[in-house]
Structure 1
Amino acid sequence: MNRALRIIFSRYGIVVIILVLVLGVIALANRRQETPLDGTNGVDGTDGAASSEAFTEDDGFATEDCTGDDCYAEEELPQEAVDRAVEFTAAWLNPGGSGQAAWFDSIEPYMTAETAEAMTGVDPETVPAEEISGEPAADGSKVSIPLDTGTLTLTMLEGANNWTENGWLVSAIDWEQS
């Protein structure tokens, strides 16, 4: 027993243990990649075609790299959503130099509850721009608004919050420095 433990905990024993662990992980990873959609036989002995039909049905959503007749153009945002995004941006820029609480109160009605929660505690001094410098552009559910130091991209969502029964709300905020 003592001799076996000496062999296992020697340099060579540890190398063998590590090698076995690495090969085990690789084997599990390869096994996990096998799916009925990769052309291998399914568990039930079929060629996988029956189970892949559900995955190839058109779900109505287009992918970014989609080309051809099977793609759907994203619906354009109505002008109301673009206007709401511009109103949010005007409040977000904090033109009056309000403190944190007043600034948050001014932007909260424009956001979904989740976005408002994420913005809680944000200091308005960290807003990286001072004014809108161009016309907003809608692309799918996003509105890009050029500002003096970059572009603010807002993802708009139709919904409700404590201030709006049913309207367009900001569900995500993205900033790109120019």
Structure 2
Amino acid sequence: MKAIIAFAVRFLFRSRLGFAVLLLVVVVSVVGVGQVAGQVGGTTGTVLGDPAPGPALTVDPTEGDDGIQSLRPEPEPVTAADADRPEAVALAFATAWIDRSLDPDRWHAGLRPYMTDDLADKLTGVDPVVVPAERLTGEPALIPYATNLVEVVIEVDSGKLRLRLSGPDGHWLVDGVDWERG
């Protein structure tokens, strides 16, 4: 009997085929124990601890509320009593931005009342000829991110103009410009 056990141990641990057989036995044992444990837990055909499947719920997509609610309410931008709303500031900026007939200094001066100092520095020396749009084709669409941070999207003849506005004191100014090809 000792000889048979010694042969089995040598076969299992010293050859690839033996090792594969040993690995297969271990995997089958683990799966079997998992199946038994799942049945002991009161469920069959499910993962240990999962409840038994219930009836499928159906919802009519044309009837009433879908029940989905935002986790956070959409922030309402705060505008000072003596200031323009972000959409109005964005529209004024966009109107000045597309005026490519001006020299760089006059173009920059036309944008200056509607932008932050940081953006003004970045746009210094820019030639309006490089502006990728000639006319506005849509109304400003507001996307609020916080009470003092919004994005306003305005469709132009060549795509979408995306303006980031900040209004920490309720006075809105453009502090970022992006253009998306349409």
TM-score interval, smaller chain: 0.5 to 0.7
Unaligned runs of 5+ in 1: 1-66, 161-165
Task: Name the aligned partner's letter for residue 91 of structure 2.
Answer: V
C-alpha spacing 1:77/1:173, structure 2 compared with 1 (3 Å): farther
Partner residue, 1:5: none
Q: CA deviation at 1:77?
A: 6.7
Of the three residues 135, 142, 146, the one matched with 2:155 is 146
Q: Secondary structure at the match of 2:176?
A: strand
Q: Which amino acid aligns with 1:135?
A: E
The residue type equivalent to 2:152 in the other structure is: V
The answer as to whether partners of 1:154 and 1:174 remain within 8 angstroms in 2 is yes
Distance 1:71 1:136 in 2: 24
Q: For 1:69 and 1:94, how far apart are their aligned partners in 2?
A: 40
Show CA shifts across 1:32-76 (max 9, x none): xxxxxxxxxxxxxxxxxxxxxxxxxxxxxxxxxxx9775342324
TM-score (norm. length: structure 2): 0.53
SS at match of 1:170: strand
Per-residue CA deviation, residues 73-115 of structure 1 (Å, 9 max, x unaligned), is 23247672101100100000016x0101111111011100001
In the alignment, structure 2 segments of 5+ residues that lack a partner are 1-67, 145-149
1:113 & 1:145 partners in 2: Cα distance? 22
Please state if 1:73 is matched with 2:56. Answer: no
Partner of 1:156: 165
Post-superposition Cα deviations, 1:16-43, rounded to whole Å, max 9, x if no partner, equal xxxxxxxxxxxxxxxxxxxxxxxxxxxx
The answer to whether structure 1 residue 89 and structure 2 residue 90 are counterparts is: no
Q: 1:109 aligns with which of 106, 113, 124?
A: 113
Higher relative contact order (CA 8 A, sep 6+): 2
Residue 123 (1) aligns with residue 127 (2): yes
Identity %: 34
**Secondary structure of 1:176 counterpart:** strand
Deviates more, 1:135-144 or 1:72-81: 72-81
Taking the aligned partners of 1:115 and 1:175, their CA distance within structure 2 comes to: 15
Which residue is 1:99 aligned to? 103
- Are residues 77 and 83 of structure 1, via their aligned partners in 2, closer, same or farther at CA, if it must alter by over 3 Å? farther
Per-residue deviation, residues 121-160 of structure 1 (Å, max 9, x unmatched): 1110000000010111001110000000010011111158
Alpha-carbon spacing, 1:152–1:69, altered in 2? closer, same or farther (3 Å) = closer
1:84, 1:117 → 2: CA distance? 19
Matched residue, 2:138: 134
